[in-house]
Chain A
């Protein structure tokens, strides 16, 4: 029968909105406001899953995030593994199945959106129960910018399951009143279904808001499914409540065993009876109300076993009035039944021993082993904990951040104390952020002084068999497992956790962690205070990978940088290469061409006629100031102060350890004004590097650095006919070698556009680098295309650039070097000033290892087989026969290409004592076979440099 355990009138579900759902293949009916757990219980379904190792039937122990065993896999509306049935809201189209420990990932692409919000708050209140509500109200009335987060679908916390009147009204009426007032406050943000899961440095609290799951198939497509809230708060109020824990007794894992407070929640919030005949087992006052309420709802409570030898009078009387037999000094020693409890064994606990066993029939055992304040966030925030023996629990002690803990989260037991805490810490938090605050008035509430609980962790077993005394139902770990760990010599709770896996389940030991400490303490005969807890770590509850990833996915994963000419390249069919964040044209295949063919054609055009390349991604740094020249002398190995205005010089930068860091050109625009270029990938790093030295070492130097990479587009016009093409655009600019020599620059107007033209060549050919403002790039590019059309002007990409420069032996920093190569290794001694007293890296050149003559040098290689293209990265050895490993290696191939100019393959390599081996034969290991190569000078093409002048 549908909903046979549902009460006719109780609960906060919406009976006008029935929702069918499917669990384990069977359709059931729930209502809006139900969790999957409450709806299953209403339908008499108790067994949800099986133990991960034991395969024993497992039911529903709890009512919220502490649930250790009622795990489900949601299959519709979309697959999600490993959710506690107690946290899944029943929604349209819900289909789920019970899980035995392991969830399943689906290869269906997740269609949902996830996003992130960054927020600031004066007072952030975590937890919307009585404490949090009153704290938020107090802070809001003080004028604070307040955020209130609660993990449930509606605010109220335990008040949602409370019946005792508050201000003479049902508690929920008070909750509604507070919520209404908060809703009316400007600067107050209330977020239900939002779980604060991480507490980081300087009051940075991170929460996950579940925005659409409760709508099921009706969820709007454009709304993000989950939202990360990253909140920086000036003060934080933690009103996170407490978690009830169980006691380790025999067969305490069977469906039908439930925490007492959970039963009360199911009764009052969802109108669901957990069973038909109940036994209650408690170590504290808390479980009594559950027994009395259930009796009031017509459920026979066969017995209430209170482990304490003395029972509080008022509670005893109330039980008597409800016809509940109270057994002081008694425990539940075990249960019987199969998929569901059919009975329990009661016994008297005296002097640590059981006596007077008595079997009773029941289908439900409600248990309360005490309450653990939810100190997770407090502890993450660096707060210390102490053991409170009155509560038999770890409570917050010293706080390290500006955080205030109140209510059950600090160990308060009564509603009156929780409310008083809320008002007090709400005012304290407001005052610490500079607001004058009065505590909101306390609502009138029944006062009662609780009696201390007893620290009972484990019910002794007369036979000494603890293999079914479960401590962690999520991990199927028992007292016997813990005994085995301590017998093995383990004393630390961290070791026991790792030996037994207690506390490593999906809920990270919310019901089992402190219980395990208590059990270990009992076994070792020490105080739990000596053992402490394992460390609380984020997240407080499981968070999906996708929520944490947020929007940084797909196209937004990392910014894409493109040049002003990108659209042209795309239209021209370019293939692109990622260089840092930039997209650079790699080569421009024509129909039917592969990469090799395209690159060959592009190389030929550059060597024989004219070609052009978009070099805009090169980093450009504008350097100005009185001491600019002095500064550049210090950061480049090359002398820069002697550079004349109008001229350009190659420059090399090293780290202080003497290893090459970057290279580029320096052009002197005026006495106190330079422009540097850097490699594409290193532009930001070079600017950072220069700023660091300038600001932290040489603040007295008057130098100003500005990145102008995206101010200027750069087109490299290359080839023997480049001057011809340029002349067609350059008007009266003299381009002959005498007027415009190599390594000079000129301002010009090209096709009506202001341009700076540099005679720089990275190919060895006559070449011009034309810099124009970014917005004019398209125009100058197409003008050049048109002007060179009759000469077959050819756009080329980075691969051709690499071939051309390699033929000239020009290294690419980062390809022909790694972080272990000096300028001397590269044969660039000529770029290292001998005159300067010092520059960054100079001192390192004379260290014993750096000064060695047999370091790896950059050399050229010619495979003896001229058609053999050596793989870049292949290793070099001396001999044609490989000895047994480890084989001594001489170096590796850094660049390798087919050269149209040479009509053969060639390579650059870093080779041990390479310059001393020029002309000698060594071997490259290709596919595990040594093949002969000849070591050469790295310059293969136009050694005398005749072609650069055209």
Chain B
């Protein structure tokens, strides 16, 4: 075997990623939060709308929050029209993203199985598959044997505590390398003239007569015609600087990774009933996510019992994992709304825009959210796909209750 033969070799990353500019004194648009969504928003502002006088400011290193911590699952098989619309838009963008960004992102459309463990799960799964198909999203209902054909290490024995009774399958779903996605957006935005400013913490949002005028930061005041918040778990803290209260709570979400293993797991498996989602990354490590910790937290870590519970459930589904090893666990901060759907749109303050509340679904939405957010910022009205995701829905009751409707998160 030679180095050239190893399929898992790190792909050649771009030799130049981004400049490290000093912040200017003012911009057309300042995006607060240099995660995947912020970077994608900057890129699409420049690419789709020709708005390049843009700064993305981040308090730490680019894409160092949830973008660096997620389990990289990409799918669009959501039940409700509003969710399906924006996630499927994202999916279509994912499918051309490496070319668009001219950067490897290791997008692998290996499919995702969402397992059902009870007759109720089965009903919900079938309902979602049927809705997906009518929404133009690829989806199939599989019986346990068909699921086994997709994932040969799945335990479909009827004798386990919660047997697999079937699964939904989205063939176009998959995984991508999260860091490369962020860097691809960052590099492309940088090349179009966007300033990416790291180690620049926002300490205040400047508002004058109901209109935003800029942000104060640890690197000075940046004036802006428009300010776009894009800070996931820290959204509440930022919004409060502008006197806005959000229907968002921040929780830890943990994940873990194993050592590199010979390929055993060819797809992505999610089991909401027992809180497991797992894939095998292209290098060979098993990447698994857990359920969220129950309490509010900004600590980027959670309790071990959540991991223990998750691994117990994982071994019920995949006995073959028994002697794999956990190399690393970590936590991110997810911003959860009452209906488990995002908030994307305008705020009561002129020129201040809001994108948050993606909960556990932020990564897979990255290009779609960036696209719609950029459009909303550029035009000052919500993009049609984002229209159901406004703040007003909490007052009218028109929630996009994906969680309540299908109990499928992540």
**A residues adjacent to B (C-beta < 8 A):** 52-55, 78-82, 100-107, 109-110, 112, 198, 200-201, 204, 206, 228, 230, 484, 487-492, 494-495, 498-499, 501, 504, 506, 508, 535, 537-539, 542-546, 548-550, 552-555, 557-558, 560, 577-579, 657-659, 814-815, 818-820, 844, 847-850, 871-875, 877, 882, 884-887, 889, 892, 894, 925, 928
| Contact indicator B125/A552 (Cβ below 8 Å) | no
* B374 interface contact, C-beta 8 A: no
Task: Tell which of B223-231, B236-244, B321-329 binds the partner.
Answer: B321-329
| Chain A residues closer than 8 Å to B260, beta-carbon distance | 52, 82, 101-103, 506
How far is B129's CA from A660's CA once the two chains are assembled, in angstroms? 25
**Minimum distance in angstroms from A229 CB to a CB of chain B:** 12
Binding site for A on B (CB under 8 A): 1-3, 6, 9-10, 13-20, 60-62, 64, 68, 81, 84-85, 117-120, 122-131, 133-136, 153, 160-162, 179, 198, 258-262, 264, 284, 301, 303-304, 307-309, 311-316, 319-330, 338, 393, 395-399, 401, 403-406
What are 12 A-B pairs with beta-carbon distances under 8 A?
Answer: A103-B262, A488-B13, A506-B325, A539-B329, A545-B311, A545-B323, A549-B314, A560-B161, A818-B401, A873-B125, A873-B126, A886-B84
A380's nearest neighbour on chain B, judged by CB, is B301
A657 near B397 with CB under 8 A, answer yes
Q: Find out whether the CB atom of A484 lies under 8 angstroms from the CB atom of B15.
A: yes
Contact B330 A494 (CB under 8 A): no
The answer on a CB contact under 8 Å between B15 and A488 is yes
A673 to B313, CA, bound (A): 42
Contacts of A544 in B (CB 8 A): 322-326
With both beta carbons as reference points, the residue of chain A lying nearest to B405 in the complex is identified as A818
Residue of A494, A498, A871 contacting most chain B CB atoms (<10 Å): A498
**CB atoms of B312 and A110 under 8 A apart:** no
Number of contacts between A and B (CB, 8 Å)?
Answer: 255
Overall SS of chain B's interface? mixed
> A54 to chain B: which residues have CB within 8 Å?
3
Q: Is the pair A53, B9 in contact by a Cβ cutoff of 8 Å?
A: yes
Residues of A close to B1: CB separation below 8 A: 55, 100
Other-chain residue from A53, A78, A198 in contact with B304 (beta carbon distance below 8 A):
A198
CB distance from B298 to the nearest CB of A (A): 13
Would you call the interface of chain A mostly helix, strand, loop, or mixed? loop
A488: chain B residues within 8 A (beta carbon): 13-17
Are B259 and A81 in contact, with the CB atoms below 8 A? yes
The answer to whether A105 and B262 touch across the interface, beta carbons within 8 angstroms, is yes
Are A102's CB and B262's CB within 8 A?
Answer: yes
Which single residue of chain B is at the shortest CB-CB distance from A535?
Answer: B330
A849 to B393 Cα, complex, angstroms: 9
Query: What B residues does A499 contact at CB under 8 A?
Result: 13, 179
- State A67–B262 Cα separation when bound (angstroms): 21
- A489 lies within 8 A of B84 (CB): no
* Complex CA distance for A372 and B228, rounded to whole angstroms: 42
Closest to B128 in A: A873
A340 to B215, CA, bound (A): 60
A820 in contact with B20 (CB, 8 Å): no
Decide: A549 near B315, CB < 8 A? Known: A81-B325, A875-B130. Answer: yes
Known contacts: A104-B262, A508-B328. The answer to whether A552 contacts B126 by CB under 8 A is: no
* A residues less than 8 Å from B129 (CB atoms): 873
The CA of A671 and the CA of B127, in the complex, are separated in Å by 45
Cβ–Cβ < 8 Å partners of B120 in chain A: 814-815
Cross-chain contact B3 with A538 (CB below 8 angstroms): no
B321 touches A105 (CB 8 A): yes
Q: Closest CB-CB distance, B255 to chain A, in whole Å? A: 11
- B319 close to A557 (CB less than 8 A): no
Instruction: Give the residues in chain A near B264, CB-CB below 8 Å.
Output: 105
Instruction: Give the chain A neighbours of B393 by CB distance below 8 A.
Output: 849
A884 cross-chain contacts in B, Cβ below 8 A: 136
**Alpha-carbon separation in the docked complex, A395 to B254 (Å):** 27
Q: Of A506, A548, A814, A925, which is within 8 A of B308 by CB? A: A548
Q: How far is the CA of A537 from the CA of B125 in the complex (A)?
A: 36
Q: Cα distance A103–B62 when bound, in Å?
A: 33
Q: Would A103 and B259 count as touching, CB distance under 8 A? A: yes
Interface pair A543/B322, CB less than 8 Å apart: no
Complex partner residue of B130 from A102, A109, A657, A874, CB under 8 angstroms: A874
| Interface contact A80-B15, CB-CB below 8 Å | no
- B284: A residues at CB distance < 8 A: 101-102
- Minimum-distance CB pairs A-B, first 5: A819-B404, A885-B136, A873-B126, A873-B127, A542-B325
Question: Given the known A-B contacts A81-B259, A102-B262, A885-B135, are A548 and B130 also in contact in the complex, defined by CB atoms under 8 Å?
Answer: no
Residue of B6, B124, B259, B338 most packed against chain A (CB within 10 A): B259
A475 to B, closest residue via Cβ: B10
Q: Is the CB of A820 within 8 A of B405?
A: yes
Report the nearest A residue to B131, measured CB to CB: A875
Query: Smallest CB-CB separation from B137: which chain A residue?
Result: A885
Q: Is B304 touching A200 in the complex (CB atoms < 8 A)?
A: yes
B303 to chain A, nearest CB (A): 6
Q: How far is the CA of A928 from the CA of B307 in the complex (A)?
A: 40
Q: How far is the CA of A230 from the CA of B327 in the complex (A)?
A: 18
Q: Is the CB of B303 within 8 A of A200?
A: yes
Q: What's the Cα separation between A847 and B397 when bound, in Å? A: 6
